[in-house]
Amino acid sequence: MPTMYQGTLPVTPSERPALAREWRIMAAGGRFEVRLTHDAADIAAAQALRYRVFYREMGARANATIEATGRDQDEFDPVCDHLLVFDHARAAGDTVVGTYRLLLQREAERFGRFYSAAEYDIQPLLDHVGEAKSLMELGRSCVHADYRTSTTIRLLWRGIARYIFDNGISHLFGCASLHGCDPDQHRDVLTYLHRHHMVPPHLHVRALPERYVAMDRLAGGEPDQRAVFRQMPPLIKAYLRLGCYIGDGAVIDADFNTIDVFILLPVERIDQKYYSLHDGQVE
């Protein structure tokens, strides 16, 4: 088991020592907006989108609170920064079309843990960055069904790029998901990720022993790469294009009806084109 942080503090946004400054990036003549926010109404709208996608569309199991409120929420929401994409051409009250939850290492230490540590031993990553404390966890990635295009992903990544520079991030990480809980339904994708994008030895993040699911699921031969990319979720394809590594072992998350894989992205591997903000106005 990882030996990351001990204890959990009851952190609320008002108690955090240094909230990231809120900002927005406008695009497409003001129709689209990417916003880093701590506003309670914004976060509630992001949680409602997450509920729609994770529980209604993907079949996650809701507890009583989530079902009653129609919002995906947990103890990490108050300690994370929230990145949202808005389409202001939509009806009022339904403008949030994409979101990410961002957790800085200093906040994870104060809270007591990273979300991913429940599935993966991330100690090699913590050891690698050491006192720099330059990690950021990406979580709860969610895009409205009508907006699952490269355009929306680019908008989210414009916001993430700004956040990376503002906070001196060296490595991004988190879990990305395949729908369903049967790894053999995704054997070609899992095998391809394992064989071609494994984390290097000095960053060898591995699924916890009790949750480890082998990813190399083909007895012989190579999976057809074209077929793999047709089956692969768009978010994982986007991470691969950015230059990510994949952790050792998958994890079944029965509550969310997913198979999770660990994504690790050193900032130095990201193509500079993803940092461009030239077509938007920063406020």
> pTM value?
0.89
pLDDT of residue 276: 54
pLDDT for 142-185, tens place per residue? 999 999 888 888 899 999 999 999 999 999 999 999 999 999 99
pLDDT over 90 at 3, yes or no: no
What does the block give as tokens for 39? 């506003």
Q: Does domain 13-282 have CATH number 3.30.565.10?
A: no
pLDDT for 55-66, tens place per residue? 999 999 999 999
Rounded CA separation 199/203 (Å): 6
Which residue, chain included where needed, has tokens 């920064």? 81
pLDDT over 70 at 28, yes or no: yes
pLDDT of residue 278: 39
pLDDT of residue 267: 94
8 Å CB contact between 229 and 193: no
Rounded CA separation 80/102 (Å): 5
Cα 239 versus chain centre, distance: 10
Rounded CA separation 61/257 (Å): 8
pLDDT for 180-224, tens place per residue? 999 999 999 999 999 999 999 999 999 999 999 999 999 888 999
pLDDT of residue 234: 87
pLDDT of residue 4: 36
pLDDT band per the 50, 70, 90 thresholds, residue 19: low
pLDDT for 227-262, tens place per residue? 999 999 988 998 999 999 999 999 999 999 999 999
pLDDT of residue 277: 43
Q: How many of the other CB atoms lie within 10 Å of CB of 283? A: 10
Residues facing 260 on adjacent strands? 177, 251
What is the mean pLDDT of the segment spanning 81-103?
96
What does the block give as tokens for 226? 């074209």
8 Å CB contact between 68 and 51: no
Residues facing 99 on adjacent strands? 84, 142
The angle that helices 150-167 and 234-242 make with each other, rounded to 10 degrees, is 50
